[in-house]
Amino acid sequence: MKSSPWLVPTRPNPSAALRLFCFPYAGGGASVYAPWSKALPATVEVVSVQLPGREGRFHEPPLTNLPEVMDGVARAIGDNLDKPYMLFGHSLGALIAFELARRFVAHARPLPVALVVSGKRAPHTPSRRRPFARLPDAEFIREIAAYKGTPASILENAELMELILPRLRADATLFDDYQYRSSGPLPCPIVAFGGTEDAHINHTELLAWGELTDTFSYRTFEGDHFFIHSNHDEVSRALSEVIDSAVSVGKPALRCA
């Protein structure tokens, strides 16, 4: 695999049958997917996407413009399409993965065997959240706390929040400024994951992903917006099922529940 600051292989495997590119949620870095290297089939090379301003790229300013993000991601992943691959993204990561698949369609690049979107409403459905990237610090932090993904010990640490607020605001800006532009259905399967207690995405918004592809399936898991962590084992098993099906059959199948 060609190296890039945008990509962090969590389990290098040159002989892998499939490469899984994983996109973190807002505020997250490549390390959030490190546990998956042991949970998924050994035939998979797990590669996490690292945006500027995160972990090993902390010294770089975070990006607030989605086209800039897409340019960097597309270059890095576009240089590594030498074998079948799959895209997985959670929340903001799902949005970036979806837009990457659309960009590859527009540029006639090899497409993923599947796009797995997690914890994200379909992008063409109306947003129910108010824009908050540009709110004063106190209000912004309350909005972040509502997602239950950042420990209170961090949110209450003024010095630490001073360091990470620019990264969180940058990601929130990507959400706030995103505008869906209609195009034809993706010519690759979409599999949607959702949490049964996720207050930010309802069942209708999850199922609406099916309107963006000709091949769709979905799965719900117990948990809130961050069910991929609280229900890690079940999510890993479901993702392994999608991967096995895609590799052996060519079209991922997953029972809907």
Residues with active-site annotation: 91
Q: Which helix (H) or strand (E) holds 165?
A: helix 158-177
Burial zone of 186 (CB within 10 Å; 0-12 exposed, 13-18 middle, 19+ buried)? buried
Please provide the distance, in angstroms rounded to a whole number, between the alpha carbons at the two ends of the chain.
Answer: 36
In total, the chain counts a number of residues equal to: 257
Q: How far is CA 122 from CA 165, 189, 191, 203, in A?
A: 27, 14, 12, 11
The DSSP 8-state label assigned to residue 27 in this structure reads T
Backbone angles phi, psi at 181, to 5 degrees: -115, 125
Residue 144, strand partner residues:
none
Beta strand extents in the chain (DSSP E only): 7-9, 18-23, 44-49, 85-90, 114-118, 190-195, 216-221
